Amino acid sequence: MNDLKVDSANRIIRKTAHGPVVFELVIHSRVIANSCEPGQFVIVRADETAERIPLTIADFDRTFGTVTLVIQVVGASSEKIASYKEGQAYLDIVGPLGKKSDIEKFGTVVTIGGGLGIAPVYPIQRALKEAGNRVISIIGARSADLIFWEDRMRATADELIVATDDGSRGEKGFVTEILKRILASGTKVDRVIAIGPAVMMKAVAGVSVPAHIPTIVSLNSIMVDGTGMCGGCRVEVGDKTMFTCVDGPEFEAKDINFDLLLSRLGTYRKEEAAARAHCKCSQGGK
């Protein structure tokens, strides 16, 4: 156990490893669990010296007062969060933040989760299915060790298609190739929702937007406070500058300047690499 003087709030109830770098964390946070909705996120700070990390709420249980977060270790800060064990507590978790997803009966919806994007797509997909939509779910990643929650995605969809870049799980290829095939089959798609790496969401938009299909993406821009004060998460949407944390995180893909988003995501790449090199945390223990 760590030595933080906290009650049961923010404490890890269950920790599950999905491969070597992806971890599922079920955390006791009754206040957030009681008020969050699909599409929203939280900001986690592990301790007094830690960076504030935005993580989308992947699931929630109002009865038990828990929220589920899924994190992929890519840098020093995510490694620190992932290093906490069951029974330990994070210093603070702020949320729910951002606007909730637009859930209604659209017709046939294609949901696409790329890599870690599988986690935030799940509660949205579940809500869309409960609203009466026909849901075609596509999940993809570079390799099989980055695919998770296949059972949950299958249970909340009418059809699930799995793809990996190297063919180690499901079909070999990109999620965009599957989307092209669905559209070429003549299936009438009323909405596409894609969450994952920015380059993947841009590629999906390149397929669905020319087909005049409303396409919603959840952006992962650099974020500090999550309340619209710092301006770090600003994105260009149409002819306006908007803030991912308060105006999003979901936006119409056709309006997003993806090139600017991709450029800004690389702002601190050197600093992140240096921090990772000096990080003393190890996965699974502190």
Sorted by sequence, the CB contacts under 8 Å of residue 6 that are 6+ apart come out as: 89, 91
Alpha helices in 113-212 (DSSP H): 118-130, 150-155, 175-184, 198-208
Residue type for 120, please? Answer: P
pTM: 0.85
Q: Is 7 exposed, middle or buried (0-12, 13-18, 19+ CB in 10 A)?
A: exposed
Per-residue model confidence as pLDDT tens digits over 3-44: 334 447 899 999 999 988 899 999 999 999 999 999 999 999
For the domain 11-97, what is the CATH superfamily, name and number?
A: Translation factors (2.40.30.10)
Q: What is the pLDDT of residue 285?
A: 44
Mean confidence (pLDDT) of the chain: 86
For 108-265, CATH gives: 3.40.50.80
Mean pLDDT of 158-167: 95
CB atoms within 10 A of CB 275: 15
Mean pLDDT of 175-181: 95
Domains in the chain: boundaries: 11-97, 108-265
